[in-house]
Structure 1
């Protein structure tokens, strides 16, 4: 487990490691004097910090010239941290190439689809497929691995940093060559590629591999399968780079775990993290709250999805913010209680480490207004006192470390390839938002007080009595069979508009929509009915739909119509259908109902699946519940989603964090979290 990775874990009387949650931040001592380093470790001890990520953006300090090295300062910092009980997640420092490298080798710089070369001066100014960059980066990785292989502070390697955050799509000549190699491996022959890409359209047939380019800026819409394959290739290129660094690290330090920080957030869809998960020894994630009406729900959704990517096992929250960030149009400070609630929500969904960007707020640079554990105001601040209080809370929650999330009755299927494919150009609407539709279902379940897991297509779907697959646009034949088997064996599948439409090559399943799922659902759609922005239709169950409608014909006698369109072009036709099959059912929702509309519909879908809220009716929607279970017991997390105090009656167990009222009911402070151990295993 993550909590036992530290070089000096706490041990009990029998000598066995004692579980603990990790707590810390990115640490950038090169920005500060040695006098500040001494204050840093003193404050780390006061706050309960036991881990830091180090050397993330240190390449220029570690290698000031092609053949010049300076590890003395990092040696000193590593020793200082070890002496003060702080373990190190040591970065390979390859995230931001130094000026000497980009000056000598400008050919490592990324190129946009317009042919513009991006200049250095920020970060991640390197091509994932550049052999020149890789040569220099791996040399640095080997130097660091060799030097710190036996350092007692080292507990994990941190490959690069936020791979693909700014350079996932590169259209350079290096990328073109690598793209062709990737395509050869995928398709073997040009005939197979031409069929997959449908190149008979617009006279695009290729007669030589060298004719193929990335989907650079073109006179009109590039080939859609070319675009989809380039997205796959770009994710795979970064994954291949991760493997290259990992290979060096495992060669030199075979016993030191290797990870990299994912970014499971709405705006970072270019990296297929479900596909990357097996490449790391433990999953790590960065998450930042984006203000808006679903901000709380989105934080929970992303933490939940990270757990799904990790297969339900504990994971590492590598970065989040203590308060405001620096990169949003308006950067709002967190209110009292939000720092702890945000952090503990991640723990509730499986995080065994809570870390921030960064330890000490920078005095200069692009992120100087990004909050930190030690703010510009210093240790004598409400923010640092909140940080220290969180450190104490995490110590109290030590028994939770190593436990896994207990499966919920409902699973929400999240699929990167459907995300990519459903939002490409030349579609029925450009307004479709895959992530938002998935989040709306999650928000609706939260409002009903129903626990749900966000899972990926590689998960064991049978663990959930109901499986919601919103906008599952890309459905290969194998996945269609799996979903059919799921429903026939007693599962209750729910899917939505624009699902089951294309196969893995982005070819339409012919014969009527929803294509691959048409027979399972017992319906047929002849034509899509997307709606202009702002236009809505009414359903006869009093809900309102937007974005999309479908011209549905029921094709199976057993298919029930749960709601009809009352207005719009398809007035009187089915809008929501359900077909019983085997011991389960398959439901289709043909319009975007939004979180409120889904909350009205879901009770009718949950009942036959035998799923209900575990919360008293009076607190549903106000409280989120999550359960972790492991050697230390079964742990119930109750998170107050509101700005008022909430009392939760009827809950029993040992209170680890939080409190109860005079009658023994759980009392949640505004924006507060209570954790109870409800049983011991």
Structure 2
């Protein structure tokens, strides 16, 4: 299955018109009936057009095995439709009801240490449990048949945040499914032995039945076993997504199906680049994470989601109006952040702005999580902000359906490198793959340069510059693809701990960075991780941490852009670039952070002719994102910014967003 413009148009036709959708998760079953009419009235005031419904309602929909209660959901569906509000109807399979876990405790996940996770929270199910699958699909069928023709239904919402709490299950069900997955991948046990390097530590297998998940062991589990188990675990959840999707497509072929990804922060167990083609339109949940790059991380995640969607519109299924409840300290959003956060997602391709949730819960684990309608009610600044945003989204209807405009710079993002680079038994356990990628993104934003964050399997050839931070896993085919792209005039930038292993997590021999040595014109014999208190100075005035490679320059036309000034590698190359015809390949051997990367960007981007699209005085203060003919200008600061250098623009308020039409 692949996405298409038709699936997006189908959503818009069912929704009634081309518009930016606005809404939230709606949980009416948490509230007495007398609240529902007020909910719909307030939704209309806010401009809500769509709600995700029944996400955690399995126990209400099927209170006893095989006994269904749809009367309340019928009434809610009809009430929403009469109010002009459409429904993204969930399959309600995210959290099984108590009767199911009591009757079948064997559906409960098992940790790597052998502990069985109890019910009482959510997502207490094994992705590979045939018993869970049977009961879940039975419920999905009942829902699909009952609501197939309901006029409020515009999309199906499979499960919810698949893998948020149950990505890694080490149960006997998982072990059996893992063996099947390995047979499919390798064909025979000798191929498995080769891939896993089982000659080490006497791990050679004689039969697939001897293979287990990487449970708690006396020492470090086999690294390729760990990598394959991550691949398998992502695939197991993808198979559940497919099972629900295929059933829904069979009964309601005209209703698009989605599930909410979680492209944010350190949520890394699900390979969303692999999942994106399985849904009719990409959806994502995102919550702002505290820290100095909080706003940039939001933009990074929205950008990556837009590229997972292939540049087509996607749907923001969840974010927060204000504080969340699950961080160590949950701070309310500042004035302007509700709107800026939402419109940044729109700038990167979202055609829907939705929240968790509509009405803030009175009880339960998320009662302190903000909502569109807070505990304070409609007479609150949060609700007034929601109403203002709803009005602005209505005014921005011409943006709906437009595609993201490709940038000239691409930041390559690879889930398998993320997984493998952070395994145990490595030169350092301080390495953070996503942080390095985010640092480059922030540095480019600071320089006023647009960049796309794109999966490694994406259209790399369309970019002038590719930045591939910690591209740790480099199969031969990818290495060849990058070499050919550089030879054709592309400009590659990569970093420490790149080009180290192949798809089996086997080290490329002959020196680092393996199959990228020749195109980079360098060779490294030994890794140089730094201790926590250590840093190194470069001769361009910047400071490196985490890593410090000993680089031998081996190729012709290699220019040293920066040298180490202090440390064990003093006087040796720290940053290099090799010219290759009209292209080039550069290597950055230490972690510099956004500030340290800034002085390098002119030298790395200059040969490709890449420069910012905004006046220099706006660089760093304003983020530019482009959808079709619409320029989104996002104030990255807490101060007003004068945009008068741009035709049709004026003063942009603190944390503000303005949209200019550039026909």
Per the normalisation by structure 2, the TM-score is 0.98
- Could you say what the CA RMSD is over the residues aligned between the two structures, in angstroms? 0.9
User: How far apart are residue 533 of structure 1 and its match?
Assistant: 0.8
Partner of 1:363: 362
Gaps of 5+ in 2: none
Distance of 1:287 and 1:591 partners within structure 2: 30
Rounded to whole Å, the distance in 2 between the matches of 1:60 and 1:477 is 50
Match runs of 1:478-627 below 5 Å: 478-627=477-626
Corresponding residue number in structure 2 for 1:672: 656
CA distance in 2, matches of 1:96, 1:464: 43
Q: Give the Cα separation in 2 of the matches to 1:479 and 1:179.
A: 27
The whole-number CA distance in structure 2 between the counterparts of 1:668 and 1:591 is 37
Contact 2:449–2:613 (8 Å) recurs in 1: yes
Q: What residue in structure 1 maps to residue 471 of structure 2?
A: 472
User: Retained in 2: the 8 A contact 1:304–1:349?
Assistant: yes
Matched residue, 2:393? 394
Deviation at 1:543, TM superposition (A): 1.0
Confirm or deny: 8 A CA contact 2:170 2:213 kept in the other structure.
yes
Q: Is the 8 A contact 1:413 1:467 kept in 2?
A: yes
**Any residues of structure 2 matched to 1:31-110 within 5 Å, and which?**
31-110=30-109
Instruction: Give 1:433's aligned residue.
Output: 432
What is the CA distance between 1:9 and its match in structure 2? 4.1
Matched, 1:260 2:247: no
Matching of residue 651 in structure 1 with residue 651 in structure 2:
no
**Alpha-carbon separation, structure 2, partners of 1:640 and 1:133:** 47
- Between 1:326-335 and 1:618-627, the stretch displaced more is 618-627
Contact 2:137 2:244 in 1 (8 A): yes
> Could you tell which deviates more after superposition, 325-334 or 562-571?
562-571
Deviations 1:373-410 (A, max 9, x none): 00000001111000000000000110000001101111
Q: Note the alpha carbon deviations across 1:453-511, whole angstroms, 9 max, x for none.
A: 00011211122111000000000000001111111111100000000000000000000
* Cα offset, 1:8, TM superposition: 5.1
CA contact (8 A) 1:495 1:588 kept: yes
Structure 1 position 4, deviation (Å): 5.3
**1:140, CA displacement in angstroms?**
0.2
CA distance in 2, matches of 1:402, 1:485: 35
Shift of residue 61 of structure 1?
0.2
The 3 A distance-change label for structure 1 pair 193 and 503 is same
Following superposition, the deviation at residue 3 of structure 1 comes to 6.6
Query: How many angstroms apart in 2 are the aligned matches of 1:535 and 1:649?
Result: 45
Contact 1:564 1:575 in 2 (8 A): yes
Q: 1:619, CA displacement in angstroms?
A: 1.9
User: Retained in 2: the 8 A contact 1:112–1:170?
Assistant: yes
Secondary structure at the residue paired with 1:278? helix
Q: What is the CA deviation profile of residues 202-236 of structure 1, one whole-angstrom value per residue up to 9, with x for unaligned ones?
A: 00000011110000000000000000000000000
CA deviations 1:517-565 (Å, max 9, x no partner) are: 1111010000111000131001111111110011110111211111111
Decide which moves more: 525-534 or 643-652: 643-652
* 1:65-96 deviation digits (Å, cap 9, x = unpaired): 01211000000000000111111000000000
State how many pairs are aligned.
657
The match for 1:344 is 343
Matches within 5 A, 1:12-411: 18-411=17-410
1:5 paired to 2:11: yes
CA distance in 2, matches of 1:81, 1:8: 14
* Whole-angstrom CA distance in 2 between matches of 1:666 and 1:624: 16
CA distance in 2, matches of 1:561, 1:9: 57
**Structure 1 contact 7–152 (Cα < 8 Å) conserved:** no
Kept in 2, the 8 Å contact 1:7–1:153? The answer is no
Q: Contact 1:616–1:648 (CA<8 Å) still a contact in 2? A: no
Aligned residue for 2:662, secondary structure, equals strand
Distance in 1 between residues matched to 2:440 and 2:644, nearest whole Å: 27
Task: Work out which of the residue numbers 638, 642, 649 in structure 1 matches 2:637.
Answer: 642
**Deviation string for 1:225-273 (max 9, x for gaps)?**
0000000000000000000001110111111100000000112100000
- Cross-structure match for 1:452: 451
Instruction: Tell me if the contact between 1:647 and 1:666 (Cα under 8 Å) persists in the aligned partners.
Output: yes
Q: CA deviation at 1:7?
A: 6.2
Paired residues of 2:126 and 2:169 also in contact (CA < 8 A): yes
Q: Deviations over 1:339-369 (max 9, x none)?
A: 0000000000000000000000000000000
For 1:477 and 1:160, how far apart are their aligned partners in 2?
A: 37
The list of structure 1 runs, each at least 4 consecutive aligned residues, that deviate by more than 2 angstroms after superposition, is 1-4, 6-10
d(CA) in 1 for partners of 2:544, 2:581? 30
Gaps in structure 1 of 5+ consecutive residues: 11-17, 654-664
For 1:444 and 1:363, locate their aligned partners in 2 and report how far apart those are by CA, in whole Å.
42
SS of residue matched to 1:562: strand
**What is the CA-CA distance between 1:589 and the residue it aligns to?**
0.3
> Is the Cα–Cα contact under 8 Å of residues 3 and 21 in structure 1 kept in the other structure?
no
In the alignment, the residues of structure 1 paired with residue 409 and residue 98 of structure 2 have an alpha-carbon distance, to the nearest angstrom, of: 51
Displacement of 1:582:
2.6
Secondary structure at the aligned position of 2:638 is classed as coil
Inter-partner Cα distance in structure 2 for 1:652 and 1:454: 29
Q: Secondary structure at the match of 1:52?
A: strand
* TM-score, L = length of structure 1: 0.96
**Mapped partners of 2:77, 2:396: distance in 1:** 28
Q: Is the CA contact (8 Å cut-off) linking 1:579 and 1:587 kept in structure 2? A: yes
Distance 2:427 2:251 in 1: 52
User: How far apart, in 2, do the equivalents of 1:36 and 1:223 lie?
Assistant: 55
SS in 1 for 2:87: strand
